Structure 1
Amino acid sequence: MQYEGVLTKMQTELGSPIQYYLVFDDSFLHVNQLLGKEFEINFMGFSCTNCSKKKKIYRMGYCYDCFYSIPSAGDWIMRPELSTAHLGVADRDLAYEQKVQLQPHVVYLASSSDMKVGVTRKTQVPTRWIDQGASFATPLVEVPNRYLAGITEVALKQHFSDKINWKKMLLNDVAPIDLLARRNEASWNLPDEVMPFFETTVEKLYTLDYPVLEYPKKISSLNLATTPSYSGKLSGIKGQYLIFEDGTVFNVRSYEGFVVRISV
């Protein structure tokens, strides 16, 4: 069977294991069902996920013009501490920014390779952790807006990493970490205005189970721009990565806006 369309990040459903879906305009593919089977992907062109023009993708699935104009690509997306909607100050579109920024956000600790600190909207729990390939995660503090989450992350980055070693994550080289113990340690470094929210945030450890038949010993990353056609046997899915039997890994999210044809 063949599926053709614009790549967007895989949709997920929490379970044991997590269920993954590639969704196109007129069809979808339940990726878990392809484990142990041959999978071919061919790069066909570009389609900006905002304007749909066939222009080269610049970042985040957007063409250059959209990336520098639309509100969903503002700097506060990657740097929550730059959020200003709580002040009534617009970056690109105040109505959009109020909708996204003025809602509960969670600052969390996760173990994908080593421990990291991160920020997500409450509605994206546990999706955000799945997308990052976290094996374990725990909410540290829930706050009412993105700005407070951002300044919390900035304070904690002085003591904890905010990066993922994606190679270690895909090799399943996950350091044994007592996240709940580290959660209490991290609370000592919270900004004063955030500390009251720590007391009301439920302490809970999430364990995430990925559909992987076998983890690779070595990995190489598939680049569709330089290798427009690839075929291999799918052996696992973790984070937003497809893992193949020969050690090739493909980060679906990095290729949002690429038009592909998939044969299974």
Structure 2
Amino acid sequence: MIYRGVLTKMQTEFLEPIQYYLVFENDFIHMNQLLNKSVSIKLIGSQCLSCGLDRPIYRQGFCRTCFFDKPIAGDWIMRPELSTAHLGKEDRDLEYEKKVQLQPHIVYLANSSNVKVGVTRKSQVPTRWIDQGAHEAVEIVEVPNRYLAGITEVALKDHVADKTNWRNMLKNDVKDEDLIEWRNKLKKFIPDEAKDYFIENNSETHLYFPVGQYPEKPKSLNLNKSIEFEGKLVGIKGQYLIFEDNTVFNVRANEGLVVELSM
């Protein structure tokens, strides 16, 4: 069977284990059903996720023009402390920025390769943790806008990591941590503007990924260099497909590529 479409990050269901779906315009693939089967991925072209044109992908699934012009790719996406909608100040499109920034946000701790701090919209819990390959996570604060979440993250990343080591995450080279203890240790570093939003009583969320075999030495598949790849799918973690020969493919990092999948 052959499927063809534009890559976007896999959609997920929070079950045990996590369920993954690769969604194309007119079809979808339940990726868990492909585990332990041979899968072929072939690069066909590219299509910007914003303008839909056949242009080289620059970053985050967007062509260069859309990445620098469209509000969906504003700097505040990656750096929430730069959010200004709460002040009524526009970056690229104030109406869009109010819609996204002025809603409840969560600052959290997640353990995927190490304990890290992160920010996400409340509506994206636990999806954000799944996408990062975290096997445990806990909320620290729930604030009413993205700016407050951003400045809290900036303050806390002086004391805990803010990035995941993707190789260790994929190798499952991770030790369990007491995230409640970490949360309580970090409480004193929360900025004054966000202290009232600290979450006193909650528990860790645990996540289980459909992985039958972890790669010992993960090697990343670059479709722009190797146009076609075929291998046995043995696991899915975060947004990565894991193959038997230690090849891993980051679906999210390849958004905007037009591919042909066959199995």
TM-score (norm 1): 0.98
Partner of 1:209: 208
Partner of 2:54: 54
**Cα deviations by residue, 1:153-194 (Å, 9 ceiling, x for unpaired):** 000011111010000000001122111100100111100111
Q: How does 1:25-174 map to 2 (within 5 A)?
A: 25-174=25-174
Would the aligned equivalents of 1:139 and 1:202 in 2 still touch at CA under 8 Å?
no
Shift of 1:248: 0.2
Shift of 1:40: 0.2
Rounded to whole Å, the distance in 2 between the matches of 1:47 and 1:176 is 40
Shift of 1:203: 1.6
Partner of 1:17: 17
Letter in 2 for 1:72: I
Rounded to whole Å, the distance in 1 between the matches of 2:58 and 2:128 is 23
Shift of 1:204: 2.0
SS of equivalent to 1:249: strand
Rounded to whole Å, the distance in 2 between the matches of 1:83 and 1:217 is 40
**Cα deviations by residue, 1:97-147 (Å, 9 ceiling, x for unpaired):** 000000000000000011000000000000000000001000000000000
Shift of 1:214: 1.3
Is the aligned partner of 1:259 residue 2:258?
Answer: yes
Partner of 1:179: 179
Q: What are the ranges of 5 or more consecutive residues in structure 2 without an aligned counterpart?
A: none
Letter in 2 for 1:238: K
SS of equivalent to 1:42: strand
Would the aligned equivalents of 1:140 and 1:203 in 2 still touch at CA under 8 Å?
no
Q: What are the ranges of 5 or more consecutive residues in structure 1 without an aligned counterpart?
A: none
Rounded to whole Å, the distance in 1 between the matches of 2:152 and 2:163 is 16
Cα root mean square deviation, aligned: 0.7
Letter in 2 for 1:256: E
Q: How does 1:174-253 map to 2 (within 5 A)?
A: 174-199=174-199, 202-253=201-252
Would the aligned equivalents of 1:219 and 1:249 in 2 still touch at CA under 8 Å?
yes
Shift of 1:32: 0.1
Aligned residues: 263
SS of equivalent to 1:59: coil
Rounded to whole Å, the distance in 2 between the matches of 1:190 and 1:229 is 48
Rounded to whole Å, the distance in 1 between the matches of 2:109 and 2:27 is 35
Shift of 1:202: 4.3
Rounded to whole Å, the distance in 2 between the matches of 1:218 and 1:167 is 8
Rounded to whole Å, the distance in 2 between the matches of 1:19 and 1:140 is 26
SS of equivalent to 1:186: helix
SS of equivalent to 1:62: coil
Shift of 1:219: 1.2
Letter in 2 for 1:8: T
Rounded to whole Å, the distance in 2 between the matches of 1:145 and 1:202 is 21
